[in-house]
Amino acid sequence: MIDVRLTGEALDLAEAAARLGDDPDTGAIATFLGLCRGETGRLSALELEHYPGMAEAEITRIAESAMSRWPVRGIVAIHRFGIVKVGEPIVFVAARSSHRDAAFDAVRYVMDFLKTEAPFWKREHLVDGTVGPWVDATDADERAKARWA
Amino acid sequence: MKYFAWVRERIGRAEEEIELPADVGTAGELIVWLKGRGEEYAHALERDRFIRVALDQRHVRHDAPLSGAREVALFPPMTGG
């Protein structure tokens, strides 16, 4: 089971977790929640641009790759677009499996690839009301992905 | 063509239809050719090796052939998650 969704609305965590569904052979669920960070008072929000169609397709491809790599029984990924205020969730990823290692690994794998392969671009909105620069891609994110090579 | 983030802003449009010359065969050759179309393209694509390309909504390398692609997208490195 793979469930990928993009939304322009605030993430509802209970609804997101419920998407994993019931499965009597699941013994572990690992979840990750990525939030909009304030950068020590500098930011009011992040604006996320995305490539409609490709964003969903790319996250689905990443989830399929994780499902083929570990004995994972289901993956849910939900990603925001539009304006995300400081403290609000940007991304939710959850995986369920019979034993915990597969779920932990799959969630981390999906996040590591999503950061550099899913077509989203962040732009800073500053506390003084102005729109700041586009966020630069980082070498750290590229290295995180390389761990799975 | 579709453009996103600062590539879209620098070019000044989100999408456009383009007839490619016959000698533009790969994604990388397309970027080089676009850079010659005007200052806005040259500015958007100046660091051309950092520009990412998708053909029909799949990532490709710059040496990928364009043949048969209906939708070509150019964008900066991604910063989601």
Backbone CA torsion sign across B62, B66, B69, B72: positive
Contacts of B59 in chain A (CB under 8 A): 58, 117
% of chain A with per-residue pLDDT over 90: 95
Chain A / chain B CB contacts < 8 angstroms: 73
pLDDT score recorded for residue B55 = 98
Q: Where are the domains of chain B?
A: 2-75
Q: Token match 């939708």: residue?
A: B71
Whether domain B2-75 has CATH 3.10.20.30: the reply is yes
Residue-wise pLDDT for B25-57, tens only, equals: 999 999 999 999 999 999 999 999 999 999 999
Question: Across chain A, what does the average pLDDT equal?
Answer: 96
pLDDT of residue A62 exceeding 90, the answer is yes
| Rounded Cα distance, A87 and B40, in Å | 36
User: Is B80 within 8 Å of A53 when comparing Cβ atoms?
Assistant: no
| pLDDT category of residue A1 using cuts at 50, 70 and 90 | very high
3-state secondary structure of B63: coil
Residue-wise pLDDT for A28-53, tens only, equals: 999 999 999 999 999 999 999 999 99
pLDDT score recorded for residue A149 = 87
* Consecutive H or E run containing A100: helix A100-117
User: Which of A36, A39, A54 has the most B C-beta neighbours within 10 Å, making it the best mutation to test the interface with B?
Assistant: A54
State in Å, rounded, how far the first CA of chain A is from the last one: 24
Residue-wise pLDDT for A65-96, tens only, equals: 999 999 999 999 999 999 999 999 999 999 99
Q: Report ipTM (2 d.p.).
A: 0.95
B59 in the Ramachandran plot: left (φ > 0), alpha (ψ -120 to 50) or beta? Answer: beta
What domains are defined for chain A?
2-136 (3.90.1170.40)
pLDDT score recorded for residue B31 = 97
Contacts of B79 in chain A (CB under 8 A): 115, 120-122, 134-137
Give whole-number Cα distances, A14 to A27, A91, A92, A98, B80, in Å: 19, 14, 11, 22, 22
Question: Across chain B, what does the average pLDDT equal?
Answer: 96
pLDDT score recorded for residue B36 = 96
Q: Any idea what DSSP says for residue B76?
A: P
Give long-range contacts, CB 8 A cutoff, 24+ apart: A63-67. A63/A2, A63/A4, A63/A110, A64/A2, A65/A109, A65/A113, A66/A95, A66/A105, A66/A106, A66/A109, A66/A110, A67/A2, A67/A106
pLDDT score recorded for residue B68 = 84
| Rounded Cα distance, A56 and A59, in Å | 5
pLDDT score recorded for residue A31 = 97
